[in-house]
Amino acid sequence: MKVKGFLKDVGGASRVTKARLHAFETASEKPETVDPIGNVAREWHPGKLDLVVKEIRTASPTAKTVRFEKAGGGKLPPFYAGQFVALDFEIDGKIVSRPYSISSAPFEARKDPGYIEITVRRSKGDGFIADFVNDGLTVGTVLKGNIGLGQFYYEPLRDAHHIMALAGGVGITPFASMAKEIANGTMDAELTILYGSVASNDIILKGELAALESDRVHVVNVLSGDEPDWTGERGFLSAELIKKYTKGDTSYFICGPQAMYKFLREEIKKLDVPARRVRFEVFGQAKDITAFAGYPVEKKDETYTITVMRGIHKDEIPAKATESLVVALERAGIRIETACRSGECGFCRTKVLSGEYYVCPENDGRRAADRDFNYVHACAAYPLSDMTIRIPIE
Amino acid sequence: MKFYKDHYDVIVIGGALAGLSAALMLADKGKDVLVLERHNLPGGIATSFVRGGIEIEAALHEMMSIGPEGNRLKVGKFLEDMGVKIDWLKVPEAYHASLPGLEVTLHPGLETFAKEVDAAVPGTYEKVLKLLNLCHTVFDSVNELSIHPMSKVQMLLKHEAFVKTAGYSTQEVIDTFDLPQKAQDLLAPYWIYVGTGFKTLPFTIFSVLMADYIGYGSYIPHKFSHEMSLKMAERAEQMGVQIEYKQHVEKILVKDGRVYGVRTARGDEIHADYVISAAYPNKVYTSMIEPMSEVPKEAIKMVNGRRLSLTAFSVIMILDKPAEELGIRDYSIFRGDTMDTEALYKDLAGLGPYRYLTCICHNYANPDATPAGTCSFSITTLPRVDGWKTVSADDYDRVKHEVAKQMIDDISKYYGVNLLDHVLEIVIETPMTVAHYTGMWNGCIYGYAHTMEDHIVARLQTAEQEKFIEGLEFAGAHQISGDGMGPAVTNGRKAAKNVLDDMKKKEAAK
């Protein structure tokens, strides 16, 4: 065969080898360490930052807003309005992590110094971290936090320009962030917030939200409690009420307590809107795992032994059948990184080497192949026998 | 607490396809191997994620070098030999080409393909088949020579076509076939998967690409590329490999010209006789070797003398209608307003509009890819790192959305359907996404560009001279076989082979 001529053809390999060596010989010997694409990735996702509490203020009689800046100052990473921060709390020498929707706006994080805020309601006895935020945090405290996680945000290439927020209780926080970002002109959307509360003095961020109202931000408070003086909307966030405030093509964003999700799933069905127009924030850790379909209720009082492998190191810890593997690990003082605590993000992806377990069906965000090989998201998995698991070394 | 053994035979930095292939091969020979992966799951970009309850492929379009059951090609065979059983699904066609004056669907099989080109551009059958057969001959030679090196004279006798085309670009060889432009255009779409225009792309690389993909077709794993990555990792662990996730290696420890271990971001110092790095040589030689005085200036000149190849920009959507209802008819569509690869390559240095797009609809190879009534559809371009290097953190989101919108609008126009009216989920993957999850240097997934100045034949010839630190090997797209998930496996095996050969040499010297 011939391409150009025998000699030229057979000389090809040595020609290209010479060319390559020549390129190296003539190259600079100065180390080139610039990685601008990596730098942008690190600016958006720096991982855990030291965040210092700068200010604590009242958001309602039962809730507080906490402002954080980066320890040492400077900008905080960009994020999308609606996303959360995963904060690590050290309580009794053990690290426990919680996700909180950021109630401040992204543009505020990009100031210098930038800040983020979370708004947390005191619990009714079931959330010791929520109580700690309300009663135990003081200005100057430093916590580690991972900013800008989660999928609950407005995506202009997917969502309608008109967003209807269906919020309950402390579920108002992601929408407070959106409202501020829209008011600042840095998010191009229109927002109508239907905000359900039991009592008027229970409305979180009431003043701040009222101050943001404009032709692009509308706030409708809805009271379910019996208050004779209330002149606004009453009842629950029913399909009828939602219809009343819907204007043309609308995306529904839902964030609130688990009971509200159950109610709204039915109401949304009545609206006959396409699936792509409805977005629920993650469910949160199941309040009562025994109430879910398929959970073996007869095991609810059992405590099992979990053998935890980290590298070649092995620990044994107790674990209750009604508490997730993450809770058992945190109780035992074994560090496992979590973010959403709803089975979605996969930060706590864990290999089950042996033993039986139950995965909360609301929170099963696993990949198909992961299921096949007994991987679980430990925040959504509950032991049903003694187990051996493998987790990453933190 | 002690998480690691005192010593390993080999530490592999990076638990993606190359690193896992190396680990499998070393474990198969009884070596004690530790894999350190920075993310919390294996695979690098060969992975999937879940959005709104739907699992979505992160990167894989189609795997080459798998081959049909019973006649596996090298990657398919290696995985089988290692006991990694993947549920491979065959991709139904080669591609649909939507190019100026051409709307043609082409299928694998050299003769089938040539016939289909002939149907679109009559009178080209003989020439196209002859070209494809030449590609196949070169491909066979590359496969044989990579395992059994031989003298130049022997090579000329036994591998004449390989030797005689090695010094030429793809365009130079194609020109000798005197094909009409349209027929040339139909042969060109895969160029993007090797990321260089035809005037600079070695014909050797084009041959491998065409013979492998067109000759044998391509495959995807049933449960996304995560199935492949996870099964490789699981098998490696079964064979005794220790894999630790979320461990970011910051330093490779070197003394007197020889590696002795690594240090992680967590602060663990771990010792081994060999280190295989999936991190780019650029990063290793400029910031990872400790102390830096162990890096010879030749190593710096080598990385500076090479050109980073392509990265990825992908708009991945779950649409709320079945593909047929939206007019999407093929698994893979290559669409461009020109097939001038040089002009297109130039465009890739910018930030769009990108004129050459690849669309993939997984449902056509995998009907279970998404829930009933929906389909998965992605639009990808593979830009050069140059343009994206200029984007700041504050501009990033705007640029990313502008580019994505242009791509969606362009494809919407093609189908006559506004895809934006059907988006159930959307994820925009950028070079920054790649950098975030994998730590790849400048988000580059394609290693170094295949060019006439960085030719695979030259890479093979000079590989020995490019070992600057004893016991340090590299595995990844930046190695001899270059980019792609199939070549990643081959690159990993090559690194493992180098380690095993060196061990044997040391053993013999004792």
Q: Which residues of B touch A367 (CB under 8 A)?
A: 48-50, 55, 223-224, 226
Residue A111 DSSP class: S
Residue A77 DSSP class: P
Look at the alpha carbons of A350, A351, A353, A357 in this order and tell me if their dihedral is positive or negative: positive
Quick: pLDDT tens for B467-510. Answer: 999 999 999 999 999 999 999 999 999 999 999 999 999 999 98
Would you call A17 an interface residue with chain B, using a CB distance cutoff of 8 Å?
yes
What integer pLDDT is reported at residue B56 of this predicted model? 98
What integer pLDDT is reported at residue A126 of this predicted model? 56
Quick: pLDDT tens for A11-21. Answer: 999 999 999 99
* pLDDT, chain A, mean: 96
Q: Which residues of B touch A9 (CB under 8 A)?
A: 163-165, 167
- Give the pair of three-digit tokens for residue B77: 């065979």
Residues in chain A, how many? Answer: 394
> Out of B5, B231, B436, whose CB is closest to A312?
B5
Whole-model pTM above 0.95? yes
Between CA A12 and CA A8 the distance in angstroms is 7
Q: Which residues of A touch B206 (CB under 8 A)?
A: none
Q: pLDDT under 50 in chain B at which residues?
A: none
* pLDDT, chain B, mean: 96
Would you call A300 an interface residue with chain B, using a CB distance cutoff of 8 Å?
no
Whether residue A220 is predicted with pLDDT greater than 70 in this model: the reply is yes
Would you call B376 an interface residue with chain A, using a CB distance cutoff of 8 Å?
no
Residue position matching structure tokens 């461990």: B247
CA distance B452 to chain A (A): 6
Q: What is the 3-state secondary structure (H, E, C) of B227-252?
A: HHHHHHHHHHHHCCCEEECCCCEEEE
What integer pLDDT is reported at residue B299 of this predicted model? 97
- Residue A92: pLDDT band (50, 70, 90) is confident
Would you call A7 an interface residue with chain B, using a CB distance cutoff of 8 Å?
no
Q: Which residues of A touch B385 (CB under 8 A)?
A: 37
Nearest residue of B to residue A349 by CA position? B40
Test A369 with B462 for CB contact under 8 angstroms.
Answer: no
- Residue A71: pLDDT band (50, 70, 90) is very high
Between CA B170 and CA B167 the distance in angstroms is 10
Q: Which site among B301, B377, B410 would you substitute to test the A interface, given the most A Cβ atoms closer than 10 Å to its Cβ? A: B301
Radius of gyration of chain B (CA): 22
What integer pLDDT is reported at residue B510 of this predicted model? 87
User: If you average pLDDT over residues A373-385, what whole number do you get?
Assistant: 98
> Out of A13, A33, A155, whose CB is closest to B167?
A13
CA distance B509 to chain A (A): 31
Test A37 with B442 for CB contact under 8 angstroms.
Answer: yes
- Residue A89: pLDDT band (50, 70, 90) is very high
What integer pLDDT is reported at residue A129 of this predicted model? 86
Domain ranges, ordered by start, for chain B: 8-87+223-307+449-509, 108-216, 313-429
Quick: pLDDT tens for B317-369. Answer: 999 999 999 999 999 999 999 999 999 999 999 999 999 999 999 999 999 99
Would you call B311 an interface residue with chain A, using a CB distance cutoff of 8 Å?
yes
Test A27 with B301 for CB contact under 8 angstroms.
Answer: yes
Q: Which CATH superfamily is domain A42-149 in?
A: Translation factors (2.40.30.10)
Would you call B424 an interface residue with chain A, using a CB distance cutoff of 8 Å?
yes
Between CA B463 and CA B510 the distance in angstroms is 26
Residues in chain B, how many? Answer: 510
What integer pLDDT is reported at residue A125 of this predicted model? 58
Q: Which site among B134, B450, B453, B480 would you substitute to test the A interface, given the most A Cβ atoms closer than 10 Å to its Cβ? A: B453
Which class would CATH give A162-280?
alpha beta
Q: Which residues of B touch A46 (CB under 8 A)?
A: none
Q: Which residues of B touch A45 (CB under 8 A)?
A: 436
> Out of B160, B242, B405, whose CB is closest to A157?
B405
Residue position matching structure tokens 């408070």: A221
Q: Which CATH superfamily is domain A295-390 in?
A: Beta-grasp domain (3.10.20.30)
Cβ-Cβ contacts under 8 Å between A and B: the total is 230
Would you call A12 an interface residue with chain B, using a CB distance cutoff of 8 Å?
yes
> Exposed/middle/buried for B39, CB within 10 Å: 0-12, 13-18, 19+?
buried
Q: Which residues of B touch A370 (CB under 8 A)?
A: 226, 230
Domain ranges, ordered by start, for chain A: 42-149, 162-280, 295-390
> Domain B8-87+223-307+449-509 belongs to what topology?
FAD/NAD(P)-binding domain (3.50.50)
What integer pLDDT is reported at residue A277 of this predicted model? 98
Instruction: Provide, for chain A, the percentages of residues in helix, strand and coil under a 3-state DSSP scheme, each rounded to the nearest 5.
Output: 30, 30, 40
> Out of B41, B405, B433, whose CB is closest to A349?
B41
Would you call A138 an interface residue with chain B, using a CB distance cutoff of 8 Å?
no
